[in-house]
Chains A and B, each alone.
Chain A
Amino acid sequence: MTPRLTRLNLSALTLVAWALLLGVLVGRPEPFLTTVPVLVALACARLRMDARDVVITHEVSADRLFEGDRLTVTVWITAGGPIPLIELREALPSVVALETGHRRAVFTLDKGEEVRWRFEVRCLARQELSFGHVRFRVWDRQGLHLLEAEHREAKRVMVYPRSVPLRRLPRPRQTQTSVGNYVSPTFGEGLEPGEIRPFVPGDRVRHVNWRASLRLGELYVTHYHQERNADVVLMLDTLAAAGPRGTTSLDLCVRAAASIASAYLARKDRVGLIDYGGMLRWVGPGSGRAQHARIMDSLLRAEVIFTYVAKDLALVPPRILPPQALIIALSPFLDARFVKAATDLAARGLDVVVVAVSPVELTRAAVAPSPVVDVACRLWALEWRARLGELRRQGLMVVEWRAGEPLESALAVFGRHRHRVAVAGR
């Protein structure tokens, strides 16, 4: 709380002094009389109140949102005593845009009166936002006295990366033991019919294939394929990023990771996450809604932490990186250390597929267009594609995903390619 006089006092005082001086110089009473309204204003100015007379309550409409969602901020101001003029201002994070209303408001309140101030913001990018820091100033009617204070009522709002529904995903080569959506080659309890064979003692009656039994004159049973789940580990490159704030290559990778994780978890697969960057962090494979929340929380905090140290994937425990897991690497391939890590995993015999987010278009969108920029971006794009070609020659399955292109169409290429590989492998 800082009560003080404003600069307007100095202006008023200057004019009073000037009028008095002029009155003396011209020897007439009128200039003296012109000072009377100014002096009356100065005499009337008073601010008899305390910051405790202002009670502020802060509310946000949600504490968990997705990128692009709207958040309504409501501030209630209650006056313990009469407030001539109160100006409120809420500091907004840089990754939100004001949609409706204003973040500065001015009110006048009588004793005990309550007013509501509401505005709406759009959350542009994933982040853990903090609201509830309201600065306010109480003025007297003339603006000659001022009382400044602030209200802190921390309201955390998690803005998670927006995920898009995906129908076609890279199919894991190997399945696990738990029940899932993938048809396993092994027979057992399941829905997918397999071969038909003669009935032997011990077979269940419900497996008897009556149509075949009637045609062939003896009992036949149908075998069913087991339906199993798979382990999928998402490997996120947080070593480097390019592009404007809110749509960096890391943001795109995080959105892709969120979409892919949500889609696999919906198929009852176990999904894990490795944040490969300045700090090596991971979320062990798991399934269910709790795992979805864990992955989303981890993706929310994913950021580029610069380091010269190459992180060794040998540090990652085997339970985090199971040998039969499908590894989906998401990267703009700006840092050679991530390329090496991905090729190392493939060399170990792990099933690695790569989603390469092109940083060229993102960077081009962030700089002013010019012929030099155009040539530089074209050269960079050629170099980047050459790098992806090198990865393909090393046996990695790589798909290029550009900003604005649907993720599903990019991943569909995986489906066709892996199907061809599977057919060739038989």
Chain B
Amino acid sequence: MRPLAAVLALVLVALPLLVHASELVAEVTAVAALLCAAGILTLSIPVLTAGSALALIGYAVAVRLSAGPPNLPTALAFGIALVLLLEVVDFTGRFRGAVVAPSVFVAQARFWLKLSGAAAAAGIVLAAGAMAVAWVAPLSAHPAGPMVGALGALAAVVGTLGLRLKRQ
């Protein structure tokens, strides 16, 4: 499973460079690539998370430097590569040293394909919804708007997880 993780990590660090190839982005993604490689080799999720966070910085810098219109397919591909990378490395680390039935690999691959499809569909729906909202009710360019939205989204995620934990 490590080669698959390596391919996903490559996608993760290559996408920012595809969006905007600059020295700054290259430096950030190079460090991210090193951390991701270390995470994959040691099957360490914390190291991989650090590498992914750096790759996110590289991507954010790249989209900021590129003056073009929003590139939604690249963003979705980046997000899908990110989640799959985390899951593949976690799966490999969890079952290292154990005998894994072939049916497990097949079922897992099928699930990851489904997850990618669902994520892509959700991203398209959300982007379409956002565009519709922007067309119907254009918001002011005040920076507090997206900040409040982001905090709200984060609070929703934390709240959902907390509720699930409480139920268990």
B111 partner residues in chain A, CB cutoff 8 A:
141
A29 within 8 A of B: yes
B interface footprint on A117-155 (CB within 8 Å = 1, 0 otherwise): 000000000000000000000010111000000000000
Q: Which of B83, B146, B161, B164 has the most CB of A within 10 A?
A: B83
B17 within 8 A of A: no
**Closest 10 A/B residue pairs (Cβ):** A37-B119, A104-B98, A33-B75, A34-B79, A22-B60, A20-B150, A30-B75, A37-B79, A102-B99, A26-B64
Let me know if B87 and A143 touch, CB within 8 A. yes
Q: For chain B, residues 52 to 95, give those with C-beta under 8 angstroms from any C-beta of chain A.
A: 52-53, 56-57, 59-61, 63-64, 70-72, 74-76, 78-80, 82-83, 86-87, 90-91, 94-95
Q: Do A42 and B94 touch (CB < 8 A)?
A: no
Interface assignment of B21: CB less than 8 Å from any CB of chain A: no
| B interface residues with partner A (beta carbon < 8 Å) | 45-46, 48-49, 52-53, 56-57, 59-61, 63-64, 70-72, 74-76, 78-80, 82-83, 86-87, 90-91, 94-95, 97-101, 103-104, 107-108, 111, 115-116, 118-120, 122-123, 126-127, 130, 143, 146-147, 150-151, 153-154, 157-158, 160-161, 164-165, 168
Q: Are B99 and A31 in contact (CB under 8 A)?
A: no
| CB proximity of B162 to chain A, nearest CB, Å | 10
**A13 engages B59 (CB within 8 Å):** no
- Asked whether, in the complex, the Cβ of B165 is within 8 Å of the Cβ of A33, the reply is no
Chain A proximity of B35: nearest CB distance (Å): 13
Inter-subunit contact B87/A18 (CB<8 Å): no
Please give the distance in Å from A76's CB to the nearest CB on chain B: 14
- Whether A8 and B61, one on each chain, are in contact in the complex, defined by CB atoms closer than 8 angstroms, is no
In the bound complex, residues from chain A placing their C-beta under 8 Å from that of B116 are: 37
Our pick among A34, A87, A106 for the contact of B75 (Cβ within 8 Å) is A34
Please report the C-alpha to C-alpha distance between residue A33 and residue B56 in the assembled complex, in whole angstroms.
Answer: 12
| Given known A-B contacts A106-B100, A141-B111, A42 and B154 have beta carbons under 8 A apart | no
- Beyond A5-B164, A37-B83, A139-B94, whether A101 also contacts B99 by CB under 8 A is yes
